Amino acid sequence: MKELVVVSGKGGTGKTSMVSALASLSKNKVLCDADVDASDLHLIMHPQNKEDHEFFAGHVPRIDTQVCTQCGLCKMNCRWHAIDDNFTIDLIACEGCGVCYYICPEQAILFDENKCGHWYIANSRFGHMVFAKLGIAEENSGKLVTLVRQEANKLAQQKQLDFILTDGPPGIGCPVIASIGGATLVLIVTEPTIAGLHDLKRIIELTKHFKIPSRVCINKYDINLKMSQEIESTAEANDSKVIGKIPFDPFFTKAMVEGKTIFEYDPENSICKTITTMWDCLWNEISESNN
Amino acid sequence: MIISIASGKGGTGKTTLSVNMALSMDSDVTLLDCDVEEPNAHLFIKPDQVKTESVTVLVPKVDMTKCSYCKKCYEICQFKAITVFKETVLTFPGLCHSCGGCALICPENAITEEDREIGTIEIGQKNNVKLIMGTLNVGEAMAPPLIHKVRTHHEPSKITFIDAPPGTSCPVVASIKGSDFVILVTEPTPFGLYDLGLAYQVIQHLSIPCGIVINRSDIGDQKVKQFAHENHIPILMEIPFDRAIAEAYSEGTPLIEKYPEWKQKFLDLYDTIEKIVISKK
């Protein structure tokens, strides 16, 4: 099974727009939206016939006031100060560690399974798709990312497909780590800005830490040619390479507003040719990889 | 007064807004960069006299001479950060949430806690802005412990701006909870609108008053404005797309340096927010 994961470091560089474009080009695949905090791929893919599954992770404490003697042991040992003087638990502060549940001498604290989101399998005009929605202000996004990737893998095997195209989250923390582990190749979509370059260095470092090869695409590269050159040098110095440079063009936004990929919106646009060339290069590397 | 700047969607202009608001104020302010995975505010503020401190969390250390392999530590741990395997105890410090449960529950007192570095905090000053930024070590999974440490640098006597990370889950909650007001920065596109809706639900969950700033306001469609009107969320400011602003941003030049007339607009924005916060108290 081969998997391309599209990440960025910096948010808003164009990952989902790029994944949508690559979805138009790549064949025999399963799409996976691993940006479970703010999953947007469905806004272009328009998935149908959704299978809806609940996602449970971790537990949530609940004090049974009938049994509680207010000894205060739970309060004293809660490192998040989530239990107040009235023995009410602040679920936003609560980390779900279970110390209060285990330590209560009266066994007055219940520890319920936590439903923290949903994950879905659906069809789209570009293939099957697995995506998710994390509950509001929930933790465990890394676990949900791991789950959607596992389900995408299962689905691909079932359908005898051998490629997964994954839209990753921004940043470098646990959702990103969960989205790139075991990937064949990571595509980093960046922008030619001082912030884009700063964040690129950190996401490349993360891919190297996990020994996953990466390639870079500079979106809106003509906003700052000098910065674009710095990005190219940075990529080369870090065992990576810029394999695509996309000029700024409002048609990306116009395509998004119409819920279309750029290939559907304006296939004659020269950017479509640039992305096709980039995709050919990516697919070459992916198919030849041992990962 | 604590004003957080959040978004849902990445790349809408949170750092642009927090940096320029902070620099526009007439009084001394604090800017907390809570986007510890990819902090950017320092690239624009360019602080002087930067002091760096290491940030650590507690992780278990097992004295195998005392361990009886009872597995109680494994049973209590909700995060699979400690496990007993044959005649050894394995810990996974990167998964540990530092709850102290294993040390507490061990009947042999075999577990103590030791510090493990997860990142750094840097404190610097430029003009009226004291910038505190957290930088998570690459490879670390958990941002919230570092975000909590950044937040301890809030000084109640000064106005504080918080640059939050993108998304809607625990790093965002850790960054913005307890704020007096949240500015939601968005863009008038389907992705901007959808993620704004998610972020708005988080703000409601935390019961914090909020308002919207629309960046690149003249591209896209009108649905963000519709959403704002339907939910009675004030639209506090609109910043039109301007290639020159994008180019200045790409170089690390704050907007108010390129266009000084925007300083008054950011001051007016602050005044509007202050009036809303006072009216809600």
**How high is the pLDDT of residue A290?**
79
Helix intervals (H) in B95-185 = 101-105, 144-151, 170-176
So what's the pLDDT on residue A140? Answer: 83
Choose the closest CB to B249 out of A38, A170, A193. Answer: A193
Angle between helices A15-25 and A270-288 (to 10 degrees): 80
Tell me, what DSSP letter sits at residue B156?
Answer: T
- Which of B173, B191, B205 is nearest residue A256 as measured by Cβ atoms? B191
Q: Considering only CB atoms, which chain A residues are within 8 Å of B191?
A: 16, 40, 43, 256
pLDDT number for residue A18: 97
The residue extents of the domains of chain B are: 2-55+119-280, 64-109
Preferred mutation among B173, B186, B250 to probe A, highest tally of A CBs within 10 A: B250
Q: Which two tokens stand for residue A200?
A: 């690129």
CATH number, domain A65-107: 3.30.70.20
pLDDT for residue A228 = 98
> Would you state the pLDDT for residue B207?
95
Residue of A nearest to B195 (CA): A38
Q: What's the token pair of residue A137?
A: 């202000």
Instruction: Name the superfamily (CATH) of residues A2-55+117-288.
Output: P-loop containing nucleotide triphosphate hydrolases (3.40.50.300)
> How far is the C-alpha of A223 from the C-alpha of B173, rounded, in Å?
33
Could you give the CA distance from residue A174 to residue B233 in angstroms, rounded to a whole number? Answer: 32
Sign, CA dihedral A218-A219-A221-A223, equals negative
| The CATH number of the domain covering residues in B2-55+119-280 | 3.40.50.300
CB A150 within 8 A of CB A144: no
Residue A291 has pLDDT above 80, yes or no: no
Residue A176: Cβ-neighbour burial (10 angstroms; 0-12, 13-18, 19+)? buried
Tens digit of each residue's pLDDT (9 = 90 or more) over B125-135: 999 999 999 99
Domain ranges of chain A: 2-55+117-288, 65-107
Q: Does B9 touch chain A (CB under 8 A)?
A: yes
**What is the structure's pLDDT at B87?**
84
Give the per-residue pLDDT at A218: 98
Q: In what order do the strands lie in the sheet with A214-219?
A: A48-63, A109-124, A127-134, A29-33, A163-167, A2-7, A185-190, A214-219, A242-246
Mutate to test the interface with B, among A8, A73, A97 (most CBs of B within 10 A): A97
With 0-12 CB in 10 A as exposed, 13-18 as middle and 19+ as buried, what is A73? Answer: middle
What's the CA gap between B5 and B175, in Å, rounded?
9
| Min Cα separation B110/chain A (Å) | 18
Give the residue from B18, B37, B208 with the most A CB atoms within 10 Å of its CB, the best one to mutate: B37
Q: Do A95 and B97 touch (CB under 8 A)?
A: yes
B97 touches chain A (CB under 8 A): yes
Supply the pLDDT for residue B201: 96
What is the pLDDT tens value at each position of chain B, 281 positions in all? 999 999 999 999 999 999 999 999 999 999 999 999 999 999 999 999 899 999 999 999 999 999 999 999 999 999 999 999 888 999 999 999 999 999 999 999 999 999 999 999 999 999 999 999 999 999 999 999 999 999 999 999 999 999 999 999 999 999 999 999 999 999 999 999 999 999 999 999 999 999 999 999 999 899 999 999 999 999 999 999 999 999 999 999 999 999 999 999 999 999 999 999 999 88
Architecture category of domain B64-109 in CATH: 2-Layer Sandwich (3.30)
Closest chain B residue to the Cα of A57, Cα to Cα: B78
Are B189 and A253 within 8 A, CB to CB? yes
With cut-offs at 50, 70 and 90, classify the pLDDT of residue A254: very high
Contact status of B169 with chain A (Cβ, < 8 Å): yes
Mean pLDDT of the A282-289 span: 94
Cβ <8 Å between B250 and A77: no
Global pTM?
A: 0.95
**Joined tokens for residue A107:** 């066994």
Interface of A with B in 251-290 (CB under 8 A): 253, 256-257, 259
- What pLDDT digit, counting tens, does each position of A29-61 carry? 999 999 999 999 999 999 998 899 999 999 999
Give the pLDDT mean for A248-254: 92
A77-127, pLDDT tens digit by residue?
Answer: 999 999 999 999 999 999 999 999 999 999 999 999 999 999 999 999 999
Chains A and B form CB pairs within 8 A to the count of 183
pLDDT mean over A265-288? 96
